[in-house]
Amino acid sequence: MERIGGKLEQISAAFQSIKNELSQYADGKILKGDELVGWIGEIYGKLLLNGSLVDDKYEHDFEAGDKRVSVKARKGTSSNWKITSIISKIEGDNCPTHLMFLHLDDKYSLKNVWLYPWDEIRETGRFKIKTVREQFRGYYFIVQPKNDEMFVIYRSRYGNNPD
């Protein structure tokens, strides 16, 4: 157990170092919890669109010009990488104007980024209802890499094709 304890301490130190580095780009927003993939997504997103992160009280993560962007990021290559986490609200006041989805490889490198107009994906039924034990929890969205080419705003130069 001591051997693994030392490795976990190394992971913790590396994680804190990465968090400290990302915080420099967080526009004063506190990076809460242990959500490395989410933090990377928000930082990359705001940098890609030259935006600014906003407080957690908003339905979106950053603003860039007239865009209010909600960011979802996933890591890895299992089939589940295409599915977002829960989206609490899809219509009404203060909803985002865009959904940005970032796909990271297994080593956290950015592979692809899609930017979807919120109203378009809502009106075409792309948001799906998420239930847990028959209780409504929110909505989710599924990226369709082959059909969503027109929404790609970034593709890695290392030849990472959408899955």
The pLDDT value recorded for residue 6 is 73
Domain membership of residue 95 (yes or no) is yes
Shortest CA distance to 129 belongs to which of 142, 146, 118, 147? Answer: 142
The answer to whether residue 79 is domain-embedded is yes
CA-to-CA separations, 151 to 35, 54, 146, 158, in angstroms, rounded:
25, 23, 11, 19
In tens, the pLDDT along 24-43 reads 999 988 887 678 899 999 99
162 part of a folded domain? no
Number of domains, the chain: 1
Which two three-digit tokens encode residue 162? 């959408």
- Model confidence at 59: pLDDT above 60: yes
| Mean pLDDT, the chain, integer | 90
Residue 147 lies in a domain: yes
Q: Is 160 a domain residue?
A: no
Instruction: Judge whether 84 lies within some domain.
Output: yes
Q: What pLDDT is recorded for position 3?
A: 67
Which CATH number covers residue 22? 3.40.210
Residue 107 inside a domain? The answer is yes
Ranges of beta strands (E only) in 14-59 are: 52-53
Distance between CA atoms of residues 159 and 117, nearest Å: 26
Q: What DSSP designation does 87 have?
A: B
12: pLDDT confidence band, cut at 50, 70 and 90?
Answer: confident
Percent helix, strand and coil across the chain, each to the nearest 5:
30, 30, 40
Contact between 148 and 156 (Cβ < 8 Å): no
pLDDT band at 7 (very low <50, low <70, confident <90, very high): confident
Weakest mean pLDDT among 13-22, 92-101, 127-136: 13-22
Domain membership of residue 150 as a residue range: 2-155
> What pTM, to 2 d.p., does this model score?
0.88
161: in domain: no
Whether the pLDDT of residue 47 is over 90: the answer is yes
| DSSP β-ladder status, 110-117 and 152-155 | antiparallel
**What is the reported pLDDT for 86?**
94
Q: DSSP string of 128-158?
A: EEEEETTEEEEEEEB--TTT-GGGEEEE-TT
